[in-house]
Chain A
Amino acid sequence: MEKFTRLSAAACPVDAANLNTDQILPARYLKWPRSAGLGKVLFQDLRFDPDGRERADFPLNRPAWRDAKIVVGGRNFGCGSSREAAVYALYDYGIRCVIAPSFGDIFFGNSIQNGLLPAIADDEVAAELIATLKDTPDLPVTVDLEQQTILCGNRRYPFKIDPSCRLRLLNGWDDIAMTGSFRDKIAAFKKEDASRRPWVRPAPAS
């Protein structure tokens, strides 16, 4: 997994609360393997009309934000379906960080697993960033994970991230490798649990 430390890039405001993963990646693309290029169908139905023409009013279609690597969203970003492919679509489009006041829990976890930073900013901060970017689309935004700050123009804002998630992103750590170091503890738990809760294993089907 690619590390995330610091990023300066265009930031695209997507000003909507409860933007669910069905909007980020519509269900009909879930059968695509990642190699098919999920970035090109990111926000498909918001970005394009039914005939495949770009919707001019969708921010990612504006010249200043076309190559954005940061998205600034509203409350409960990424709620709904657990589809990790929504994170693949963002990442493969080039997005490395989403700033929002809150995230859907599963989306948040999926982001951490894929090196995409879900930065939690206060409601007022997210609203101010969105307003600033709408006024000054070209303004680059710098997200610094070590400092936990967002720099936009001459304003610096803090953001929140769980310390263990921060470490994972900074180091590009992989869960599987980490879990491997607890192999003995897992084996001991399994053995002890089998006598503690003998009813857990599925009975042979009758």
Chain B
Amino acid sequence: MAQKQTLFDKLWSAHEIVRREDGESLLWVDRHYVHEGSFHAFGKVAERRAAVAEPDLTFAVADHYVPTRGSRRNIANPEIARMVRQLEDNAATHGIRLFGLDDPRQGIVHVVGPEQGLTLPGLLIVCGDSHTSTHGALGAYAFGIGASEVAHVLMTQTIWQRKPKRMRITIDGQVTPGVAAKDIALAIIAKITADGATGHAIEYAGSAISALSIEGRLTLCNMSIEAGARCGMIAPDAKTFEYIGGRPFAPKDPAFAQAVEAWSELMSDDGAEFDREVQLDGTEIVPIVTWGTSPQHALPVAAAVPDPDKEPDPACANDLRDALNYMGLRAGTKLTDIAIDRVFIGSCTNARIEDLRAAAVVLAGRVSKVPGLVSPGSSAVKRQAEQEGLDRIFREAGLEWGESGCSMCVGINGDIVAPGERCASTTNRNFRGRQGPGARTHLMSPAMVAAAAVSGHLADVRPLLAGRKP
């Protein structure tokens, strides 16, 4: 009898070209996404006077540096303009399809890939960006790589990898209203810590995961890297196939039917072994916010800022003290007493249409007590949101309705949080200085950011949902 395989084992073996004696394998890459930051890699290709091996499997998206407020075409900062132009030039030189500034399909690469039907179950997908783990939500093996590896993929369409260990995170039990995929992700990271999944490929399973929409699954897999995982994935199901059908680059019938047949095999066999198993109870997960400078610094919104003096391990106590100091917080303060200066709704984690709807439900008819920016995950999401009138809700609440890009998640397009300012944010990293030097970031779901906006401080969204249809 054939050995029982996990979903990850199946994806791995479908891409293995050769395995060396030392245990490293050469894997075939089905999709390679590049962005403005990939310029080091294109430079390496040019140095070798090499060609891009498979331009048809390579897609370029302008996202990291594109302006998300004000004019898109006349970029004031010449260095930022150069970053966008460089990508356009490299794409043109190598015959790579580009979703550039003016393209209606432009957006954040991890939103655009699934949206355009480029990301499919069973694919091996790489991109020079750590949040490539996002695409695993459709049952793909997707992971972030560095510039040297990007260059290697450009030149060979392959990548050397050592097989990671396999971890399954099972969450059974339905989450309660007001609890989002982001809360599930933060609950996991709080439990296993920011390096709890280092060297592992995560498979998310259980009834709480099956119940998530595809967009919720994208949020969850996106955050896998914040637990240190190589990748995160969810076995594709009927929801997945329905999501993909009819998207621009997805297979068309009869190929689609054939694909669905193949994709239906993509699940862990009963009894397949994992190197590590983690369980959470979905019914116990509540809205969560981060208070510190690592995504593992996450607590239920009703909790208080932790006290380093109560931490038995001196190294951990020091880390907590450093985090509190940077965040300008005192031990014991109730999280809901933390006043905020601004909000940001955006990023590859939480800027899809369902995220914007979830925030709009809370904001409708209310006014934000602080300024804020809403940056849709893609130009297509922007159009959809405007059709639904969500832009009006955001504007009437006093928030700025922007264009699509990485924006204030990483702050390299010029949209930053000022030094010392505290931002409630739907993004993925609350690292020191992530949203700008000296910026203080609190991570949470889109609905929770909306709740913070109308409250002026961190707040539990659930009472604000009373009488409102989600």
* Residues of A participating in the B interface, judged by any CB pair closer than 8 Å: 15-18, 20, 22-23, 26-28, 30-31, 33-34, 45, 50, 74-76, 79-85, 87, 102-106, 109-110, 113-114, 127, 162-164, 167, 175-176, 178-179, 182, 185-186, 189-190, 193, 197-203, 205-206
Contact = CB atoms under 8 A, between A and B. Distances in A.
A45 B433 contact: yes
A34 B148 CA distance: 13
A17 B22 contact: no
Contact of B258 (A198, A203, A206): A198
Nearest to A193: B28
Contacts of B80: 31
A179 B412 contact: no
Given A79-B194, A176-B156, A203 B24 contact: no
Contacts of A205: 116, 248-249
Given A17-B315, A84-B146, A84-B147, 15 more contacts: A20-B431, A28-B411, A28-B412, A28-B437, A31-B83, A50-B438, A102-B198, A175-B148, A185-B18, A186-B28, A189-B28, A193-B28, A197-B262, A200-B30, A200-B120
Contacts of B230: 105
Given A105-B198, A109-B145, A80 B20 contact: no
B90 to A, nearest CB: 14
Contact of B144 (A82, A190, A203): A82
A203 B194 contact: no
A1 to B, nearest CB: 9
B384 to A, nearest CB: 18
A178 B28 CA distance: 15
B334 interface: no
A142 B158 CA distance: 36
Contacts of B122: 197, 200
B113 to A, nearest CB: 11
Given A76-B194, A80-B130, A105-B198, A206 B252 contact: yes
A22 B434 CA distance: 7
A168 B24 CA distance: 12
Interface string B1-32: 00000000000001001101011101010110
Contacts of A15: 315, 318
Contacts of A45: 432-433, 437
B28 A182 contact: no
27 contacts: A20-B429, A22-B429, A22-B431, A22-B433, A27-B410, A28-B411, A31-B65, A31-B79, A50-B419, A50-B437, A76-B228, A81-B429, A82-B128, A82-B130, A83-B146, A84-B146, A106-B145, A113-B148, A164-B23, A167-B22, A175-B160, A179-B152, A182-B17, A193-B28, A198-B258, A199-B259, A203-B251
